[in-house]
């Protein structure tokens, strides 16, 4: 099976410029800024869907719309490579700290494990009436919840998103061209 290439190439830039009647240098400038501001930053948002879902549920449970889960690297010269630590500021935020030079695949595993702690202390407790807290020995259970998180994330990307995937970069561009139909009251259907 051939894997589609969605990289933004000179041909894609030219197609966007032509199809949307935008000067090519403007498209290039937009892309360069997007890369530096959004795309490069996106790499730091490991497990973003899982984190966002947990934040939503915890905001509801706690009645605090400002509750956040924060994943942040420690100083690069830290000797704590290969480990992640978390601290729960109950009702306010949950912080996960990790070394910035940790292998990205391993980092996802560590973050999922740390999220497992929060899941037990807040979501599992509120659902079952259990009394786990930060002083309870919950390491093996947090690991199991981490496994569920990674399996669900992989399932999401490999199977659940299939109906939303485009086959080519041109398909993406064509779907956005359909947005012009709203000016003539035509429903956008790709």
Burial of 4 (0-12, 13-18, 19+ CB in 10 A): middle
Q: Which of 130, 137, 109 is nearest to 50 (CA)?
A: 109
Q: Which residues contact 106 (CB under 8 A, 6 or more apart)?
A: 82
CB 74 within 8 A of CB 99: yes
Residues 83-108 pLDDT 10s = 889 999 888 999 999 998 888 888 88
Do the bridges between strand 93-98 and strand 68-73 make them parallel or antiparallel, or are there none, so unpaired?
A: parallel
Strand, helix or coil for residue 144:
helix
Q: Which of 36, 35, 39, 31 is nearest to 13 (CA)?
A: 31
Specify the pLDDT at position 190: 47
Task: Show the tokens assigned to 119.
Answer: 């899941």
Can you give the pTM of this predicted structure? 0.74
Distance CA(97)–CA(100), nearest Å, equals 9
What is the overall mean pLDDT for the chain?
A: 84
b/e map of 87-114 (b: 16 or more CB within 10 Å)? ebeeeebbbbbbbeebeeeebbbbbbbb
Backbone angles phi, psi at 85, to 5 degrees: -130, 155
The pLDDT of residue 15 is above 90? yes
CB 100 within 8 A of CB 73: yes
Residues 113-125 pLDDT 10s = 999 988 888 888 8
Question: Structural domain boundaries of the chain?
Answer: 1-42, 48-160
pLDDT band at residue 43 under the 50/70/90 scheme: low
Class of domain 48-160: mainly alpha
Specify the pLDDT at position 149: 87
């Amino acid at each position: 099976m051939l894997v589609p290439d969605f990289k933004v190439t000179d041909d894609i830039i030219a197609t966007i410029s032509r199809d949307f009647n935008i000067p090519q240098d403007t498209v290039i400038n937009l892309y360069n800024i997007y890369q530096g501001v959004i795309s490069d930053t996106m790499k730091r948002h490991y497990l973003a869907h899982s984190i966002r879902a947990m934040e939503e549920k915890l905001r509801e449970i706690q009645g605090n719309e400002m509750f956040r889960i924060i994943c942040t690297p420690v100083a690069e010269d830290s000797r704590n490579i290969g480990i992640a630590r978390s601290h729960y500021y109950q009702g306010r935020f949950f912080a996960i700290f990790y070394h910035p030079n940790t292998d990205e695949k391993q980092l996802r595993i560590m973050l999922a494990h740390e999220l497992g702690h929060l899941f037990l202390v807040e979501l599992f407790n509120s659902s079952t009436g259990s009394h786990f807290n930060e002083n309870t020995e919950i390491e093996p259970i947090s690991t199991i919840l981490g496994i569920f998180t990674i399996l669900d994330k992989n399932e999401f990307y490999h199977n659940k998103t299939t109906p939303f995937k485009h086959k080519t970069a041109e398909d993406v561009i064509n779907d956005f061209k359909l947005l012009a139909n709203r000016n003539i009251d035509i429903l956008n259907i790709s």
